Amino acid sequence: MPQQRGEETRGRILDAAVRKFAIAGYDAASVDDICAEAGVSKGAFYHHFPSKQAVFLALMNGWLSMINMGIDAVRKDTVPETLVEMTNLLPGVFAAAEDRMPMFLEFWLQASRDEKIWQAVIAPYRHYQERFTKLVQEGIAEGSLKPVEPQIAAQVIVSLAVGLVLQGVLDPHSADWAKVAEQSMQILMNGLAKN
Amino acid sequence: MPQQRGEETRGRILDAAVRKFAIAGYDAASVDDICAEAGVSKGAFYHHFPSKQAVFLALMNGWLSMINMGIDAVRKDTVPETLVEMTNLLPGVFAAAEDRMPMFLEFWLQASRDEKIWQAVIAPYRHYQERFTKLVQEGIAEGSLKPVEPQIAAQVIVSLAVGLVLQGVLDPHSADWAKVAEQSMQILMNGLAKN
């Protein structure tokens, strides 16, 4: 089963890259280091990934897909209930982000210096913006949300989530972030939902 | 006037460090590079700063003091009005952060690997947490805010601000961030303020 073996090799490369990036940093970890850690040849590496940057993007996209699947799976009776329920996803996001945080920071750093990488970093974030704009529009249409400007309300939700994730990752023990996230969204809904 | 000359030298070192960190990165920029850029001797450098890390911390603290002074200067009749007024500080924060962002990201990266640096990064953030907890307590006492849990409400405000700053710096042209900030705080106040 060559395809299955291929998937397994790809997974081994990704796991090895996470470990190497976390310990040595993105810049210092070479393709050779990742191959040695994964126990694969350079030929196998380049069969799956054109570059080290491609490995990084695959890791980031994997993390973002996980969040997207989580968001898409949440569906309660009304939009305000759906939004509060979504905060239960955050502990999982924190857990998955924690050991990858140095890697993400290093990538953002490169993004701030390189237009092409910046585009790759900013695209998924803009996707969340659109996703939540639609959800707010649904809430207004179903009558559960006040007739606010959907884009602004979506930006508040995304800003709050970004801020919560950043704080939860950088300062995990200063608060019960799952509780903070749920109560934060509740306060926001007090301002957005029709009573 | 030796003290004045000392201050001037210190300022020249800080300005040179900003330029060097931005171009070469924190790791790659050496004390020698910073001295050459500033046109000062190594002796003068070490008279003012024990290390390159100390220069970085001075730059970060300068930025944070500027924000603190801004926050302390805002005072309207009620706490909700004060909070909405404070969002006018954000464009200045964005402007000051933009060319320093690579440097901050690099420092957070090091913070994620070094307990001592992490403490230096996390301290000012915890300070904002306390600052806004007190402001919310004032609002409840004066009767302008609902009797919410002050710490949670403060965390919502700080999370929103952190999220807005991060987005405004990483994606400055996707929105009018000053407008978004003011409208976001207004939505939050709809949920927090007594009508």
Residues of A in Cβ contact (< 8 Å) with B163: 158-164, 166
pLDDT of residue B180: 86
Q: Which residue of B has its CA nearest to A171?
A: B122
Work out the minimum CA distance from B63 to partner chain A, whole angstroms.
Answer: 19
Which tops the pLDDT comparison, B41 or A89?
Answer: B41
pLDDT of residue A97: 67
Name which of B25, B159, B183 is nearest A163 (Cβ-Cβ).
Answer: B159
What are A103-124's pLDDT values in tens digits?
A: 777 777 777 777 777 787 778 7
Buried b (16+ CB within 10 A) or exposed e, A132-167: bbebbbebbeeebbeebebbbbbbbbbbbbbbbbbb
pLDDT by residue, tens only, chain B of 195 residues: 566 778 899 999 999 998 888 788 788 899 999 999 999 999 999 999 999 989 988 888 887 788 888 888 999 999 999 999 999 888 787 776 666 677 777 777 777 777 777 787 778 778 888 999 999 999 999 999 999 899 989 988 988 988 888 788 777 777 888 888 998 898 889 888 886
Which pTM value belongs to this model? 0.81
Work out the minimum CA distance from A158 to partner chain B, whole angstroms.
Answer: 8
What are A169-180's pLDDT values in tens digits?
A: 777 777 888 888
Please answer yes or no on whether B187 and A152 come within 8 Å at the CB atom. Answer: yes
Please answer yes or no on whether B105 and A108 come within 8 Å at the CB atom. Answer: yes
- Asked if residue A2 has pLDDT above 70, the reply is no
